[in-house]
Chains A and B, each alone.
Chain A
């Protein structure tokens, strides 16, 4: 079954040039210069029930805008959106009870109260029956292992703990479709992994349709089989993650930090293709399968290695590759 159907969707923002100073503000009460930003340009895709899709793109690509249209916050300028058979911008209650949106940048928890209070408020808003609420809550609390923080003021929780609670608040009404807008943003590596593991598990167990946006390859790589890449408001890739990696991201980045007096370029060149170089920090581009071996080789050499980080390539890099291959 197709849960989400997007056809030729576009969105243009109107905004106003900000005038400087008091006089400017006063003038702008009467006349303001209107400007337009095309955030999403004629995109189409469809998503089947139970899929977990990665919506990947650099900052400003149009990911949030798309999710806002899917959840009915924004009306499309052009084109059509259908989610679960509903048109989101009509804001029908039956639709609203069937999806949830979690934004890494915006919180819905009541900050001055323990998270449990927001859960109870949401129970009323979504009209969840008592028994169902208790069951869902218990299940989610166990899944996330947050029993011991339910009674602590949200403000006093770590960012990772807060995100867990945000997710619980959004899942209490058992949404069929879940939109996650950069849920791992600002989190430390361990917390990121926690959240990812949860999303994966939740999708597998509940068969919830999930769109997850990110500007990290890392996020998507672990979770999604299918990715959609958006850049400057246009979809430039929609397909299997494996294919994407094979074709456009065959490398990993190996960032090596040297201490002492650093190194000379000639000393490190033999370890692989150099992406960036200075005597103290050097980044290699290595094949996925080679990354570990290269790291071992570096460590066992007599170079003054202080630290090695193996990372995914930048999304901007992938986008560039896709473009050059297409043109």
Chain B
């Protein structure tokens, strides 16, 4: 127990330091949020134009579609992170070496750092998404079904963890190649596509939807948003949680393997 408190304190100290660091960049953080609000608004405008007089696209009315976009972006604001490029930089610049000699694992350190780093951005994103939702208060569908909300909450937390692990894994690619920025941008697009961030996945063929239910990405946007709209039922939601847990375990296992192999290489090449 004392050990746990100890670890927690370690963790929180690092979180706090990087939270402060983020505060020194509050202006940048703010500007990014304005960009995000703009993106959401463009999506809503675009869909309004596409609907024209149409009542229903992919099983969603315009009102539902707008809610989908708003609530999905709200969840996504909580879930995402920017860990990959941080790790890539540590590896490329050889800063990783300075962690290897410290009595704390790089994984724990970098996770606490990232949580500290993004918590401000996350809070502001949540705030700005909320503002946009309030702006569309008449269009937005309000639904507070507690069981659904609990499942959604669990899903968002698991999605946060899965995304952290995934970003960590992607960041480790830097062990093998120098040029990662383009690669990360591409992977981010693919992730967003599979998460349903551009448009609801059920606009695509059914086989595609089934595949994406087996992947971790849909649980960061599409599934929780659909759950909120009650377009998928609770059992799908619960099954989703299980799939997420499996993914988290799998990712953790892959990370261990990739980390060890990467470290071997890092030591061999001696950056």
Contacts and interface: CB of A to CB of B under 8 A. Distances in A.
Interface residues of A, number: 36
B17 A117 contact: yes
B103 A124 contact: no
Contacts of B6: 127
Interface stretch (B62-70, B90-98, B119-127): B90-98
Given A74-B270, A121-B13, A93 B97 contact: no
Contacts of B95: 106
Interface stretch (B18-26, B79-87, B143-151): B18-26
Interface in A66-105: 68, 71-75, 91, 93, 96-97, 99, 101, 103
B174 interface: no
A68 B179 contact: no
B14 A112 contact: no
Contacts of A296: none
A278 interface: no
B100 A125 contact: no
A75 B265 CA distance: 11
B230 interface: no
Query: Among the interface residues A72, A73, A112, which one has the most CB atoms of the partner chain B within 10 A?
Result: A73
A124 B14 contact: yes
B267 A124 contact: no
A160 B66 CA distance: 56
B175 to A, nearest CB: 13
Contact of A108 (B14, B17, B98, B179): B98
B10 interface: yes
B109 interface: yes
Nearest to A39: B270
A106 B98 contact: yes
A305 B94 CA distance: 47
A16 B267 CA distance: 14
Nearest to A112: B21
A29 interface: yes
A208 interface: no
B102 A125 contact: yes
Contact of B101 (A72, A75, A127): A72
Interface in B15-49: 17-18, 20-21, 24-25
Contacts of A91: 100-101
Contact of B24 (A16, A93, A106, A153): A153
Contacts, number: 75
Contact of A13 (B97, B103, B269): B269
Contact of B94 (A15, A106, A113, A118): A106
Given A121-B14, A124-B14, A113 B20 contact: yes
Determine chain A's interface SS by DSSP, over half rule.
mixed
Interface in A114-173: 117-118, 120-121, 123-127, 153
A91 B105 CA distance: 11
Contact of A93 (B13, B103, B268): B103
Nearest to A15: B269
A303 to B, nearest CB: 50
Contact of B103 (A16, A108, A127): A127
B9 interface: yes
A74 B267 contact: yes
Given A65-B270, A74-B270, A91-B101, 15 more contacts: A14-B268, A16-B269, A73-B97, A73-B100, A74-B267, A106-B93, A106-B95, A110-B18, A113-B21, A113-B24, A117-B21, A124-B10, A126-B102, A126-B103, A127-B10
The 6 closest A-B pairs by CB, nearest first: A93-B103, A96-B103, A124-B10, A124-B13, A125-B104, A117-B17
Interface of B: 6, 9-10, 13-14, 17-18, 20-21, 24-25, 93-95, 97-98, 100-104, 109, 177, 179, 267-270
Interface of A: 11, 13-16, 25, 29, 65, 68, 71-75, 91, 93, 96-97, 99, 101, 103, 106, 108, 110, 112-113, 117-118, 120-121, 123-127, 153
24 contacts: A13-B268, A13-B269, A65-B270, A68-B97, A68-B270, A71-B101, A73-B100, A73-B101, A75-B267, A99-B101, A103-B98, A112-B21, A112-B25, A113-B20, A117-B17, A120-B13, A121-B13, A121-B17, A123-B13, A124-B14, A125-B102, A125-B103, A126-B102, A126-B103
